[in-house]
A and B are shown apart, each in its own frame.
Chain A
Amino acid sequence: MSLLSADRIDVRHGGQIALQGVSLSVEPGEILTIVGPNGSGKSTLLRALIGAVAPSRGTVRRANGLRIGYVPQKLHIDPTLPLTVRRFLDLPRRVTTPEAEEALANAGVSGVIGQQMASLSGGQFQRVLLARALLGNPQVLMLDEATQGLDQPGSAAFYRQIEEVRGRLGCAVLMVSHELHVVMSASDRVICLNHHICCEGTPEVVSAAPAYRELFGTGTGGALALYRHEHDHGHDHDHDHSHSHSHEAAE
């Protein structure tokens, strides 16, 4: 049974149609990526799936008691709110310090537990958001443009971390991105969204699809190849392993 599904949902934003007739389902353990241009309704789709916006038509189903680990696109912490990393990881449920430390290690950001959230660098901040999402043992991890503000090597490293986490926890991952070339290689399945679903399938199928090329042009094909080249040589055996694992699943 799928963890999370949408059945032909429409979402409107002040009269404008953000999503139309979108159906998808997330299966246990898979990495599903939604790509699309800015303003194509990607974030709205994620927000509809967590119940933050109500569809005007169609239904969203979540498995009973589904545990969602959510990493928002941007988290603004008001300067009037003092918040240490340790305390942030306690939201919404208290965790023990060993649990908090383990989650930080899993997210690749050890040693910041006593710092203020406001003092973290962009990369550390995103990883702390990921660590919080990992606590409570999520069945599905949802990431909304989680690498915004990171440079390309930074986001590539972040997505490798996601693959690793999936390998370790066995959770499904649903992520949204416009950085196609970085995300594609880490995905089992890709949905190309522009208010409606243009095409979907394995990364290879989608990147070859006419609808995808129409939206993003042919230039990304080159970037994809370039990235894969770097990716193949750029990291140690451990990462390579989880990477090839996701490829098997994709093929």
Chain B
Amino acid sequence: MLDDFLIRAALAGLGTALAAGLLGCFVVWRRMAYFGDATAHAAILGVAVSLGFQVSVLTGVALVALGMALAIHWLTGRNHAMDATLGVLAHGALALGLVAVALIPGARINLDAYLFGDVLTVTRADLAVIWGGATVVCAVLWLHWSALLTATLNPDLAYAAGIDPRREQLILTLLLAAVVAVSIKVVGALLITALLIIPAAAARPFARTPEGMAAMATGIGAFAALAGLRLSLWLDTPVGPSIVCVAAGVFALATIGGQLRTIGR
């Protein structure tokens, strides 16, 4: 079954949507979109590092994304007005990565694959990484769900309940780096944040509880992955952007539907 490249692509998309849909809810609730951007863009620098040091792309991307996520985590702990700094980090990392890739002698790689994803060339090993990563992300979120939610709501409520909100924030940071590393192959560094926030935002108008929103976000992400893949075959367009287009379409419909529901009440 896994011999078919389309099946592999679909499975890769589903695995990524699962992890990104769940984690994306926290990214939306905590307003970490720029944080996600900076971490994802650092992945291009990770590609350059892996070419320069002759290590696997996955290792390079994971390490650099992790480093960037930890750096931001450390910075946000010291200063709350981070918007501009995060913008500088996000775009600086991307530009530096693009320059570094160009500077590496003899490197003839197709950067598009890392910027926009290349899910049709996913191998069995890639699939193992994606589903392994998605499983870890889901398991950690499951175990920490209540503590994460309390810390997200209000750090002082967490402290009073014996939960350290800084620790929970660090866990989210690490998970974000993991999602970046596993989804770069599917949607690419530029659109990872889209896969995190669009399904969650689309689920919001119809959700009554955090868990409901997470379940719907996962479903919308999965639908976007499959429909986007189908769309790209049909129109002969790149898969990653097609997936994001479908997700954005669902978001637009959900927003309009949510408005109509409010008016109808």
Q: Which residues of A contact B163 (CB under 8 A)?
A: 92
Taking A78-B29, A78-B31 as contacts, is the C-beta distance between A92 and B209 under 8 angstroms? no
Q: Which residues of B contact A1 (CB under 8 A)?
A: none
Q: Are B146's CB and A81's CB within 8 A?
A: no
Q: Are B156's CB and A83's CB within 8 A?
A: no
Which DSSP category, helix, strand, loop or mixed, fits chain A's interface? loop
Distance in angstroms from B109 CB to nearest chain A CB is 38
* Interface assignment of A47: CB less than 8 Å from any CB of chain B: yes
* Interface assignment of A158: CB less than 8 Å from any CB of chain B: no
Q: Are A75's CB and B153's CB within 8 A?
A: yes
Q: Are A70's CB and B208's CB within 8 A?
A: no
Q: Which residues of B contact A51 (CB under 8 A)?
A: 159
Q: Are B158's CB and A92's CB within 8 A?
A: yes
Q: Are A83's CB and B210's CB within 8 A?
A: yes
1/0 contact string of A129-150 vs chain B (CB within 8 Å) = 0000000000000100000000
Q: Which residues of A contact B213 (CB under 8 A)?
A: 81-82
* Chain B residue with the shortest CB-CB distance to A80: B28
* Interface assignment of A8: CB less than 8 Å from any CB of chain B: no
Q: Are A91's CB and B150's CB within 8 A?
A: yes
Categorize the interface residue count of chain A: 20 to 34
* Interface assignment of A93: CB less than 8 Å from any CB of chain B: yes
* Chain B residue with the shortest CB-CB distance to A129: B157
Q: Which residues of B contact A221 (CB under 8 A)?
A: none
Q: Which of A75, A77, A82, A92 contacts B212 (CB 8 A)?
A: A82
Q: Are B153's CB and A77's CB within 8 A?
A: yes
Distance in angstroms from A91 CB to nearest chain B CB is 5
A69→B162 CA distance, assembly (Å): 11
Q: Which residues of A contact B210 (CB under 8 A)?
A: 81-83, 87
Q: Which residues of A contact B204 (CB under 8 A)?
A: 80, 82
Q: Are B160's CB and A50's CB within 8 A?
A: yes
* Interface assignment of A84: CB less than 8 Å from any CB of chain B: yes
Q: Which of B144-182 contact A (CB under 8 A)?
A: 146-147, 149-150, 152-161, 163
A72→B150 CA distance, assembly (Å): 13
Q: Are A82's CB and B156's CB within 8 A?
A: no
Q: Which residues of A contact B211 (CB under 8 A)?
A: 87
1/0 contact string of A104-124 vs chain B (CB within 8 Å) = 000000000000100000000
Q: Are B153's CB and A50's CB within 8 A?
A: no
* Interface assignment of B100: CB less than 8 Å from any CB of chain A: no
* Interface assignment of B227: CB less than 8 Å from any CB of chain A: no
Taking A82-B207, A92-B146 as contacts, is the C-beta distance between A70 and B29 under 8 angstroms? no
Taking A68-B161, A81-B29, A93-B146 as contacts, is the C-beta distance between A47 and B156 under 8 angstroms? yes
A91→B144 CA distance, assembly (Å): 12
Q: Are A72's CB and B152's CB within 8 A?
A: no
Q: Which residues of A contact B152 (CB under 8 A)?
A: 81
Q: Which residues of B contact A94 (CB under 8 A)?
A: 146
Q: Are B157's CB and A70's CB within 8 A?
A: yes
Q: Which of A51-97 contact B (CB under 8 A)?
A: 51-52, 68-70, 72, 75-78, 80-84, 87, 90-94
Q: Are A142's CB and B153's CB within 8 A?
A: no
Residue of B150, B154, B156, B210 contacting most chain A CB atoms (<10 Å) = B156
Q: Which of B30, B147, B200 contacts A92 (CB 8 A)?
A: B147
* Chain A residue with the shortest CB-CB distance to B163: A92
Residue of B30, B149, B204 contacting most chain A CB atoms (<10 Å) = B149
Q: Are B31's CB and A91's CB within 8 A?
A: no
A47→B159 CA distance, assembly (Å): 9
* Interface assignment of B64: CB less than 8 Å from any CB of chain A: no
Distance in angstroms from B80 CB to nearest chain A CB is 12
A133→B110 CA distance, assembly (Å): 56
A80→B150 CA distance, assembly (Å): 15
Q: Are A82's CB and B209's CB within 8 A?
A: yes
Interface residues of B (CB under 8 A from A): 28-31, 146-147, 149-150, 152-161, 163, 200-201, 204, 207-213
Interface residues of A (CB under 8 A from B): 47, 50-52, 68-70, 72, 75-78, 80-84, 87, 90-94, 116, 142
Contacts A/B (CB < 8 Å), 25 sampled:
A52-B156, A68-B160, A68-B161, A69-B160, A72-B156, A75-B153, A75-B157, A76-B154, A78-B29, A78-B31, A80-B29, A80-B201, A82-B210, A82-B212, A82-B213, A84-B208, A87-B210, A91-B149, A91-B150, A91-B153, A92-B149, A92-B157, A92-B158, A93-B161, A142-B160
